[in-house]
Chain A
Amino acid sequence: EDKVVQSPLSLVVHEGDTVTLNCSYEVTNFRSLLWYKQEKKAPTFLFMLTSSGIEKKSGRLSSILDKKELSSILNITATQTGDSAIYLCAVRENYGGSQGNLIFGKGTKLSVKP
């Protein structure tokens, strides 16, 4: 079964809207959760969240980790057409679990209409 589940799988909003993307995970020995943005090319790193850094913010983007609920949200305020992309969530277990590799969700495709 999927260890990292993202929702919704796709989302259409209008410029200026605020969106919340969700990521839930089920791993044995959590180490970190990473968010990536993928436009029509390679995924680019946005945030990394850990037990010691559960909230990150950069401009209009922010992310929170809820270790109790085994989930994270990515918020984008005042969306712009340039925010249109696939947003990927990935989880890393501590070394020894999945060999420390990232486990990716299927992504949320965000479309921002003018």
Chain B
Amino acid sequence: DAKTTQPPSMDCAEGRAANLPCNHSTISGNEYVYWYRQIHSQGPQYIIHGLKNNETNEMASLIITEDRKSSTLILPHATLRDTAVYYCIVLLNSGYALNFGKGTSLLVTP
């Protein structure tokens, strides 16, 4: 599976959009981009995934560049409860195991 690179930490003011970048320059054509987050002392939570088109659900939006080498997770109106570690993962559609890496620690401040 392709490796991902994320900034170690980011801050965001409550109510503003949080834009979390991920670089996956070695992604192959049949690998999906998945985003999970982990709030302190809880299990990871699935957020969203996509292949090449932009995706949106009730939690977030995922923007994947046309060359698929990077993506951005957008939390449109961040709240204090969005403070968590966010993981960007690429996975084959036939794959099983998730490689979580170190993720981005997002701090949402009042």
Asked if A and B are interacting partners, one says: no
A residues with a Cβ closer than 8 A to B are: none
B residues with a Cβ closer than 8 A to A are: none
